[in-house]
Amino acid sequence: MYDRIFLPKKITLENGKTVYEKRSRLPFIVALLLLAVIISIRITGFELELLLERWMQFFVIIGQMIPPNWEHFSNIWVPLLDTIKMSLLGSLLGALVALPIAVLASSNIVKSKVVVALFTFFLSILRTLPTLISALIATFVFGLGTVAGTVAIFLFTLAYVGKLLYEQIENVDMGAFEAMESIGLTKVQAFRYAVFPQILPNYLSTSLFCFEGNVRYAAILGYVGAGGIGLLLNEGLGWRNYANVGIILLLLVITVFIIENASEYFRKKLM
Amino acid sequence: MNTIENQLKWEPKNKTYMITVSLILLLLFGWSLSAIDLSEMETQGFQVAINIITGILQPDLELLLTFNQQGVLYLLIETVAIAFLGTIIGAILAIPFAFLSASNVVPAPVAYVTRIVLIFVRTVPAIVYGLMFIRVTGPGAFAGVLTMSLTSIGMLSKLYVDAIEDLDTKVLESMTSIGCNIFEKIRFGIIPQLFAMFLSIVIYRFDMNLRDAAVLGLVGAGGIGAPLIFAMNAYRWNEVGSLLIGLVILILLVEWLSNRLRAKLVRG
């Protein structure tokens, strides 16, 4: 299509032959991107002058966070532990439930096309829902508190681990599975001994990675009332008590840093 | 005793290790169970769940299909615009930070300090930035764009660094040996190696930012989030349904597009 509008360049070589060089698509793509940027600027009301005039305000807020209010620490650590508990429980349960669902969603194990389509669809719908929105819905069903947050994290982990897992199962070497089926093992047994060992390291590593990310997500779930440290964060920001926000963020960064490094250590060991 | 059984005996025995790991996991599981307090569960939760599902199954079609300032389509376009602009700004600003934290480009202390700063930038939740930027620019999509740019800088520079540290320096050495100057080295030695990788990372990040932008509205930073939370708080579940359907379709569409584009980039 593009080549028909912008005809290829004709080059005559020294020996008299002519060759065609296709025109670069770069100008077209750049023009398209520029157009998109201009439209976005219109829609979002991006004003450089306002930004240049008031960008200091942002650093004023950061300045108020330093030094952090250390006395606030005694109020923080219980919600912080709640946050970790929520993400731990949600990730553990989610990763466990993801396994059977991923098996049902992988087309090389389950032969029924309807079942596979149903479960892949279920997983992709679940994955598109942002965690904060599922947490918001969960607060309506389970009431305010950590249960709603755990449910939101559980759903996200289920979707994320489930998707990566069924892609891995579909890429597994099926020879061993077929051989075991042919000597009379049931499908479950064959899966346990032929496929499971192949996906286990990846499964554990994905689950750990997901847990890592979940701690970050869990930190904001309190914003919609789903328990954890987000509630205090929201309170501090609402009352403009930035020194309190500063200590919360500092503790959060330290926690996430520790968990990330621990999980990275174990993931490297798994590989 | 046949060969198979003999061979099986050679299997490394890591039973103690496995049992310890399982025990630790179980302990953690038990510990985290204490966060669950079902006594506070609302009794009408089940009824609400049914209401939500019927609302999503019977969406407000008028809201979903009409195109005006309150319609789902306009809100989705606004969300995409926030994510797009934020990603572009973040993608450009992240490049210097990435080079400053790559240990094969700058001295180790500089790389280390930049990395710590980036860890801070990355860990602070997007919503907190949103609330801070609202104090700067006032509520609206502009605050959302700034938030997305800042979070993108944190995430993108981390991914960029991996690409930069994998640079093939042999090319640069051979270019030095044939007498290229520094700009030629950057133009013909570094950019061709990094461009496709960076582009792929940016497209991936746009996909992620779209989800975040959908949430930012909860704090008043524009996009689809604000109408969503209003509709939920007012228990207008068919409006929630139409907003969620629009969001899910948009995210699936963008994800599919981004996967296709990235597959094309990888294949060249």
pLDDT band at B152 (very low <50, low <70, confident <90, very high): very high
* Domains of chain A, residue spans: 2-65, 70-270
- pLDDT tens by residue, A102-159: 999 988 888 888 999 999 988 888 888 888 888 888 888 888 888 888 999 999 999 9
> Which one of A46, A128, A237 has the shortest CB-CB distance to B85?
A46
More confident call, B262 vs B41: B262
Evaluate whether A221 touches A228 at the Cβ level (below 8 Å). yes
Instruction: Report the distance separating Cα B101 and Cα B106, nearest Å.
Output: 7
pLDDT band at B42 (very low <50, low <70, confident <90, very high): low
pLDDT band at B69 (very low <50, low <70, confident <90, very high): low
pLDDT band at A218 (very low <50, low <70, confident <90, very high): confident
Q: What is the mean pLDDT of chain A?
A: 85
Cβ pair A237:B128 closer than 8 A: yes
Evaluate whether B158 touches B118 at the Cβ level (below 8 Å). yes
Question: What are the helix (H) ranges across chain B?
Answer: 3-9, 15-33, 45-57, 61-65, 72-100, 108-123, 126-137, 141-165, 169-177, 182-184, 191-216, 225-233, 237-267
pLDDT band at B43 (very low <50, low <70, confident <90, very high): low
Q: Does A35 touch chain B (CB under 8 A)?
A: no
Q: What is the mean pLDDT of chain B?
A: 84
More confident call, B177 vs B42: B177
Closest residue by Cα to residue A213 from B116, B208, B92: B208
- Residue A253 reports pLDDT greater than 90: no
What tokens does A114 get? Answer: 């309807």
Mean pLDDT computed over B85-100: 91
Exposure string for A88-124, b = 16+ CB within 10 A, e = fewer: bbbbbbbbebbbebbbbbbeebeeeeeebeebbebbb
Mean pLDDT computed over A201-224: 87
- Residue A45 reports pLDDT greater than 90: no
Q: Does A82 touch chain B (CB under 8 A)?
A: yes
Instruction: Report the distance separating Cα A149 and Cα A155, nearest Å.
Output: 10
Count of residues making up chain B = 268
Closest residue by Cα to residue A91 from A202, A174, A190, A211: A211
Lowest mean pLDDT among A126-140, B61-75, B190-204, B246-260: B61-75
Pick among A34, A55, A133 to test the B interface (most B CBs inside 10 A): A133
Residue in the structure block whose two tokens are 């270019």: B175
- What percent of chain A is modeled with pLDDT above 70? 97
CA dihedral B237, B241, B247, B250 (to 10 degrees): -170
CATH of domain A70-270: 1.10.3720.10
pLDDT band at B84 (very low <50, low <70, confident <90, very high): very high
Residue in the structure block whose two tokens are 């032969």: A111
- Residue A95 reports pLDDT greater than 90: yes
Q: State residue B239's pLDDT score.
A: 83
More confident call, B265 vs A35: A35
Cβ pair B133:A58 closer than 8 A: yes
Mean pLDDT computed over A27-41: 87
CATH T-level topology, domain B49-267: MetI-like fold (1.10.3720)
More confident call, B43 vs B57: B57
* Domains of chain B, residue spans: 49-267
More confident call, A259 vs A53: A259
- Residue A101 reports pLDDT greater than 90: yes
Instruction: Report the distance separating Cα A109 and Cα A120, nearest Å.
Output: 14
Identify the H or E element spanning A245. Answer: helix A242-270
Which long-range contacts link B18-23 to residues 24+ away (Cβ below 8 Å)?
A: none
Pick among B115, B127, B162, B224 to test the A interface (most A CBs inside 10 A): B127
**Residues in chain B closer than 8 A to A37 (CB atoms):** 84-85, 88
Cβ pair B81:A43 closer than 8 A: yes
Which neighbouring-strand residues pair with A20?
A10
Instruction: Report the distance separating Cα B76 and Cα B211, nearest Å.
Output: 11
- What is the value of pTM for the model shown? 0.83
- Residue A229 reports pLDDT greater than 70: yes
Q: State residue A155's pLDDT score.
A: 93
- pLDDT tens by residue, B199-248: 888 998 898 888 888 888 888 777 888 888 888 888 888 888 888 888 88
pLDDT band at A2 (very low <50, low <70, confident <90, very high): low
Q: State residue A213's pLDDT score.
A: 85
Q: Does B76 touch chain A (CB under 8 A)?
A: no
pLDDT band at B141 (very low <50, low <70, confident <90, very high): confident
- What percent of chain A is modeled with pLDDT above 90? 13
Q: State residue B1's pLDDT score.
A: 63
